[in-house]
Structure 1
Amino acid sequence: MNFNLKKIWDAWDIRAVILFSLTLQIILIFFAPLRKRVSTVYLTLPLWSGYLLVEWAANFAVGHISDSKGDDDRFAAENKVQDVLVFWAPFLLVHLGGPDTISAFALEDNALWHRHFLGLVTQGSSVAYVFFRTVSKNKLLIPTVLIFVVGVIKYGERIRALYLASLDRFRESIMKDPDPGPNYAKLMDEYSSKQAANLPTNIEMIHEFYGDLEEEKSVKKGLSDLEVVEEAHYFFEKFKGLIVDLIFDFRQRNESRNFFLSLKAIDAFRVIEVELNFIYDVLFTKMIVANSYWGYVLRFICFPLEIAAAILFYRWDKRGLPRWEIGVSYTLLLGALILDFTSFFMLLFSDWTTVALKKKGYVLWRLRKPDCGWLNRRWAESIAQFNLINYCVRGCSKRKESIYQWFGIVDVLNRVMYVKCEKFTDQMRDFIYEEIKNKSSLAEDLETAKEIWLAKGDWTLRANSSTHLLPYITESNFDEVLLVWHIATELCYSKDNIVIDGDKPTSSPVNYREISKILSDYMLYLLVMQPSMMSAVAGIGQIRYRDTCAEAEKFFLSRNIMKSTTNKDNQGYNNFFTCSCLKRTTNDEEGEQVHKRREEKHVRACKAILEVNAVVKPVQVKGDRSKSALFDGRRLAKELEELDHGIDKWELISKVWVEMLSHAAINCNPNEHCQQLSKGGQLITLVWLLMTHFGLGNNFQISEGHARAKLIVGK
């Protein structure tokens, strides 16, 4: 049996691998665009595997084809088979070039363009060796050369896209020419000579007037789809330096700020979503190369070459050639044509083409895509949720945790078991937008703007006459502030017995309670599951989080809250929650029962924490050895419950969370924001770009100082 399997593999290895390579191309071209719309491991893992396996397939197939000898018994009787194998080799170069929808899987891949250039040289040389070894007797000489040319072009396009998207090259491409300023030495020589001649001489700064070099953009209420794409591309071109952390002057700030201050929330977020899509295309796809003059020229070269190769192969005498070789050849040719046509179709109806044609006056409308639900989304439109008390009350045993840690799958299991997603609602969008907009309207100068974007909740407390809560923000690092407010929010949420029914009118048009809960769990998710995004502000966040969990589990055990946990419950609960951003299913009765028991236990845990008399600060009892924030959150919850003088507790809490989200967003490294674009996107990234367009952030460091020195000589 093993001998038979070996014979089958020897006969089909090249054919199977080259068809597998074509299958990978189909997967990548159709599913890679979903990366910016869906955040799930079920999509990421296949794409990552396909992205890596393309190179393996090419190396394997080219190596086996080059090892086949002209006098090999398998090919001596049928030279046509060998000609077909040589004909297949250039297709592997085409596959290595990859589809237009993905050039890099991660941001770091762009820096590896040198390696891919070397790959073009080595793989191209291998294919050329296979070709020239049989050139004297190859009956498929011309179609093989045609496909080889196409392969070199495709692979070259990918290398070019990676090179242009590498951060160093990208920064260099958008930086302006160096400005040495006025000739200081010459000016001072003139100044000295005038002084020596006893002439009254002064140096004055003459402010430069730019006139209408940048005409103020007209503002419209309610943007059409075409206008959204136009505005998004305009601001992408203006602010793409954000990717590499460049700075901008006051004119760019004022133009962007005035425009976004005049928009409604829905239009502002639509513009930002499309702008982030432009950034995604530049960094992770071939679009920057495809949407260029030479990009279109090369496409009009490759497609006819592929058609010509297909016609020549069709007219070639294939008598005596095994039908499997014929079928594989036609499959490769048809696959190449379909992939090229699909890529061109996607390019033709892309936002880039829409903008390019509109600029030339060729397009007066934008074709509306059919309503395909989540396929029309610009990002995942979901908010990941992770709750500390929910995590601790389930009490993963140390033994199990150590086993999972040994296998390195603790983080994966935590995401599967404890992370869920909430939909990004219109109410959430409008609330965040209005909060940032109201603060931006006060930021006329850079000093005020800096005070706003540096605030991590204290600005809101002062504005709402809640200065007695300031110590819970100003006297702690951001990671401690986040944990304390997360625990306090959860305790208040659990204690509040108001049931908010979406079908019934509430006292307030804005559900501040739910907004607070969602933002609280989202910020903890970022701290725990996305620490790289919070590294600039989190400090010892991971240590403080672990200490808080340890104290919470110890406390819950002492109050007999965790003893009811059973293996059956854990198993049912693990099956009940998934890491996908879908709503929980209700057709699993056992899962629903487990969920209810967990909810009851969660309520008991919150109630037990609230029953603790936390009059004395925990640090005065325990010292500073443990960084736990559990009972600091209990103290804050008590003060929030005792708010008076007409302040809505949940409105205050929700505004504090928006401010903390804004603080984290603007202090996050731009690279981390860009990384998330290929993983479905993050709300914090949208907030980062929105704040920047409102003129809030550390990228505006050039004030109205455009002036030149002039020597004034008195009479």
Structure 2
Amino acid sequence: MGRMIIEIPIPQEWKEVWNAWNLRGVIILSLSLQTFLIFVAPLRKRTKTRLTVMPLWSAYLLADWVANFAVSLISNSQGKPTGETSGKNLRTIVENQGLLAFWAPFLLVHLGGPDTITAFAMEDNELWFRHLLGLFFQCLAAVYVFIQSLPQNRLWIPTMVMFINGILKYAERTRSLYLASADGFKDSLLKEADPGPNYAKFMDAYVSKKEAKLPTRIEMISMHERATKRANKAKRGILTELEVVQYGYQFYEKFRGLVVDMIFSQKERNQSRDFFHNRTASDAFKVVEVELNFIYDVLFTKLPVVYSKIGAISRIFSFVTICSTIVLFFFKNKSNFEDADVTITYGLLYGALVLDSSALLMLLFSDWTIIYLQKSPDDEPNDWSVKSIILTFITRLRKWNLKFKHRRWSQSISTYNLINCCLNPQTEYWESIFNKLGLSWFLDDFFYLKNEDFSEALRDFIFEELNSKSKPVVDLETVEKISSSRGYWVLHIEKGWSGLFKDLEDADYDHSIILWHMVTEICYNHEDNKEKDQSDKQNIAKLLSDYMLHLLIKQQSIMSAVAGIRQLRFQIVRDTCAEAKRFFKEKRRTELCYQKKTVQGGQGIKFNHKAACTELLKVKAEVEQVAIKGGKSKSLLFDSCKLAKKLVDIQIKEANLDKWDVINKLWMELLCYAASHSRASVKAAQISRGGELITIVWLLMTHFGLGNQFEINKDQEILAKLIVGK
């Protein structure tokens, strides 16, 4: 018995519409995606909102597929005799083979992508060879389409011109991906071979002078002293916006090797330390933000390729070819073309012109143009030179930009609060559903994840902490001790605190984060200080506490490489949450932790965060939790209550000891430990996702000489000089 074939009845009208508009629709979609990418892609380094990231990710993936699909449709339609097809619209497409061949090079341009985005993630850069093969095969497809349209093609000249333009655009993207790949990036860091001073010639001169009985000696010159003198030439005081960009580029040039775990010399360390010791917190962060923006451009855009001689020639050629193609097509006889096809062609031409013009304007006002015009702040260009006039014009226009456009990262930090997660009863039902579907991350992002503004108080605190630790530090052994401290270095150096928490010093890193997060939350809600200074300290502790928990739970790629974090770290979080939920559920009847609130449509329940923390502080945790539970639970809830109570009692008995200073410094140590022990490539990848505070701290630590990327050998800092005479 044969199989029964069931055909889905599709109306003939629908088939005719699809045959007539499948290619046209895909062409319009491809142009729309390119327009969306060029204008929206720069926003991803300034915002963390999923409303920007998700559409951009979808457009990035869809753009290549749509362009490839359109090329295949054009190729499939070429060379078909009219008699093999049916329908007026399809016959029209076959008759316009020359016009379709003219569309193919525009799709090569689209496959090249806009200058503002080449890769969505760093992993995309490793696919550069795939793009190289794609360039080869797409060029073959475009050539096939072009040959099939001959000799009747009346648009062969503009088609050839745009074909060359498309190849250049696609090649630029492939080249950019290669340069941003791990191997390509490392190769770009290699300097020209340097044999160093001529030892044989030096010794010949030395021996000949000695044999001639001349007073000769070899004097060793410290390169550190020379480097310090050059560093001392750096401007003191507040930096201008132009100087911020120039110094940011200088440090990008020196320290871009951080992305691939490159080791730096003592000379570079000393120069960087001397510069940042003379900066304010505001200028230091601005310089680092500019440095990160240059790294972003290298890893995720075409700008490094564009800002070269070949790139400049390519841009001029592209603009000229598009303008000339518009003129050629405008004066061509279009009587045999369908009006819809002519309209789409004009859309492709003017769309390409608008996209190229927009890209040129973005390049004109970018940091790369400023560096091209005046690379170093020490340069003194002629006030009436062409470069100086253009530079003055650009810098003045940049000041008129909106504040959002000037923002170089999101200037926000993501926070996650454990008590908030455990206290909200409205999500208990949804948690079970989302967990079964494997979508618990969506629930976390919707209910618990928040983006808080990066305050000036937090910025100043981070800068002062790193600055104060860096100033007395000279030897790298001390640097290693500081960067390896997991939150208890401050307890040793702060008078009166040494020995109070000895039993916690050997705790695992994840254990420390969860424990001190709960302690900070309880203490924060226990006190209500109206003084600005004390309030700022509490807010800093709160932000750092919630941010570090966010890194631990939501940023697994960053924290997975940090030493001391166990694979079962989430079991501690789960057990602590479970115990907290049980505790708050028992307290719910007393309405101490919850307050009933009339909402629209009936009665609702609103949790009282402050009252809940007060109840936790009242728990009498006089016996160690492990003595009661054994190893059945890894919860840290009541250990946190015991430690929080200890801190409150210390504050009451010893008025001269400010626990918030110590808590803030402890959180700073935990943040610095994660910054110095996580993978460099993962931290660099965060630049394209709105930026992360941990990435900025990582760079600041390096510039202050607190990183672990510096070589210990000092022999390379000595230079020999031959002295003849007394």
Alignment correspondent of 2:509: 478
C-alpha RMSD of matched pairs (Å): 3.0
Cα distance in 2 between the residues matched to 1:654 and 1:272 = 23
| TM superposition shift of 1:702 | 3.0
Alignment correspondent of 1:199: none
Change (3 A) 1:598 1:704: farther
- Matches of residues 90-129 of structure 1 in structure 2 within 5 Å? 90-129=105-144
Q: 2:674 aligns with which of 664, 667, 685?
A: 664
Alignment correspondent of 1:338: 354
| TM superposition shift of 1:212 | 4.1
Change (3 A) 1:78 1:700: closer
Give a deviation string over 1:14-51, Cα, whole Å, max 9, x none. Answer: 11111100000010000000000000111111111111
Equivalent residues of 1:70, 1:76 under 8 A apart: no
Write the letter of the residue equivalent to 2:683. H
Cα distance in 2 between the residues matched to 1:604 and 1:488 = 15
- Matches of residues 291-440 of structure 1 in structure 2 within 5 Å? 291-359=307-375, 361=381, 362-363=387-388, 365=392, 366-367=395-396, 368-395=398-425, 400-440=430-470
Whether 1:704 and 2:714 are equivalent positions in the alignment is: yes
Whether 1:453 and 2:487 are equivalent positions in the alignment is: no
Whether 1:164 and 2:179 are equivalent positions in the alignment is: yes
| TM superposition shift of 1:62 | 1.3
Alignment correspondent of 1:275: 291
Alignment correspondent of 2:643: 636
SS in 1 for 2:373: helix
Cα distance in 2 between the residues matched to 1:591 and 1:293 = 67
Cα distance in 1 between the residues matched to 2:219 and 2:628 = 63
Q: 2:539 aligns with which of 503, 509, 514?
A: 514
Cα distance in 1 between the residues matched to 2:153 and 2:704 = 65
SS in 1 for 2:399: coil
Cα distance in 2 between the residues matched to 1:565 and 1:124 = 67
Equivalent residues of 1:38, 1:380 under 8 A apart: yes
| TM superposition shift of 1:177 | 6.3
Cα distance in 2 between the residues matched to 1:381 and 1:562 = 41
SS in 1 for 2:447: helix
Equivalent residues of 1:456, 1:473 under 8 A apart: no
| TM superposition shift of 1:113 | 0.4
Alignment correspondent of 1:196: none
Write the letter of the residue equivalent to 1:480. H
Write the letter of the residue equivalent to 2:610. V
Equivalent residues of 1:89, 1:127 under 8 A apart: yes
Equivalent residues of 2:492, 2:499 under 8 A apart: no
Cα distance in 1 between the residues matched to 2:28 and 2:642 = 64
Deviating runs (4+, > 6 A) in structure 1? 177-184, 396-399, 561-566, 591-594, 707-710
Change (3 A) 1:369 1:409: farther
- Matches of residues 462-473 of structure 1 in structure 2 within 5 Å? 462-465=492-495, 466-471=497-502, 473=504
Q: 1:31 aligns with which of 21, 40, 61?
A: 40
| TM superposition shift of 1:121 | 1.3
Change (3 A) 1:653 1:509: closer
| TM superposition shift of 1:398 | 7.3
Cα distance in 1 between the residues matched to 2:689 and 2:636 = 31
Cα distance in 2 between the residues matched to 1:640 and 1:229 = 45
SS in 2 for 1:103: coil
Q: 1:12 aligns with which of 17, 21, 41?
A: 21
SS in 2 for 1:429: helix
SS in 2 for 1:508: helix
Cα distance in 2 between the residues matched to 1:340 and 1:565 = 59
| TM superposition shift of 1:707 | 7.2
Equivalent residues of 1:207, 1:706 under 8 A apart: no
| TM superposition shift of 1:659 | 1.9
Write the letter of the residue equivalent to 1:433. F
| TM superposition shift of 1:175 | 3.3
| TM superposition shift of 1:703 | 3.7
Aligned length: 664
Change (3 A) 1:390 1:708: closer
Change (3 A) 1:659 1:315: same
| TM superposition shift of 1:705 | 2.6
SS in 2 for 1:476: coil
Whether 1:491 and 2:522 are equivalent positions in the alignment is: yes
Whether 1:135 and 2:150 are equivalent positions in the alignment is: yes
Alignment correspondent of 2:204: none
- Matches of residues 246-265 of structure 1 in structure 2 within 5 Å? 246-265=262-281
**Greater CA drift, 230-239 or 542-551:** 542-551
| TM superposition shift of 1:128 | 1.1
Equivalent residues of 2:117, 2:302 under 8 A apart: yes
TM-score of the two chains, using structure 1 as the length reference: 0.87
Alignment correspondent of 1:195: none
Change (3 A) 1:207 1:63: same
Change (3 A) 1:528 1:305: same
Q: 2:70 aligns with which of 50, 53, 61?
A: 61
Cα distance in 2 between the residues matched to 1:416 and 1:213 = 51
Equivalent residues of 1:665, 1:684 under 8 A apart: yes
| TM superposition shift of 1:118 | 1.2
Equivalent residues of 1:280, 1:678 under 8 A apart: yes
Alignment correspondent of 2:210: none
**Greater CA drift, 650-659 or 432-441:** 650-659
Q: 1:685 aligns with which of 678, 682, 695?
A: 695
Give a deviation string over 1:431-460, Cα, whole Å, max 9, x none. Answer: 111111111112122111112111222122
Equivalent residues of 1:446, 1:703 under 8 A apart: no
Alignment correspondent of 1:144: 159
Whether 1:84 and 2:99 are equivalent positions in the alignment is: yes
Cα distance in 2 between the residues matched to 1:220 and 1:98 = 43
Change (3 A) 1:507 1:376: closer
SS in 1 for 2:452: strand
Higher relative contact order (CA 8 A, sep 6+): 1
**Greater CA drift, 520-529 or 367-376:** 367-376
Equivalent residues of 1:557, 1:563 under 8 A apart: no
| TM superposition shift of 1:624 | 3.4
Equivalent residues of 2:587, 2:593 under 8 A apart: no
Change (3 A) 1:507 1:396: closer
Cα distance in 1 between the residues matched to 2:447 and 2:37 = 29
Cα distance in 2 between the residues matched to 1:494 and 1:593 = 26
SS in 1 for 2:413: strand
Alignment correspondent of 2:566: 539
Cα distance in 2 between the residues matched to 1:590 and 1:536 = 48
Write the letter of the residue equivalent to 2:673. H
Equivalent residues of 1:161, 1:289 under 8 A apart: yes
Equivalent residues of 1:253, 1:693 under 8 A apart: yes
Alignment correspondent of 2:206: none
Write the letter of the residue equivalent to 1:385. T
Q: 1:598 aligns with which of 600, 606, 621?
A: 606
Alignment correspondent of 2:207: none
In the alignment, structure 2 segments of 5+ residues that lack a partner are 1-9, 201-217, 382-386, 721-726
Equivalent residues of 2:20, 2:93 under 8 A apart: no
Equivalent residues of 1:383, 1:682 under 8 A apart: yes
Task: Tell me the percent identity.
Answer: 44
| TM superposition shift of 1:402 | 4.5
Change (3 A) 1:564 1:24: farther
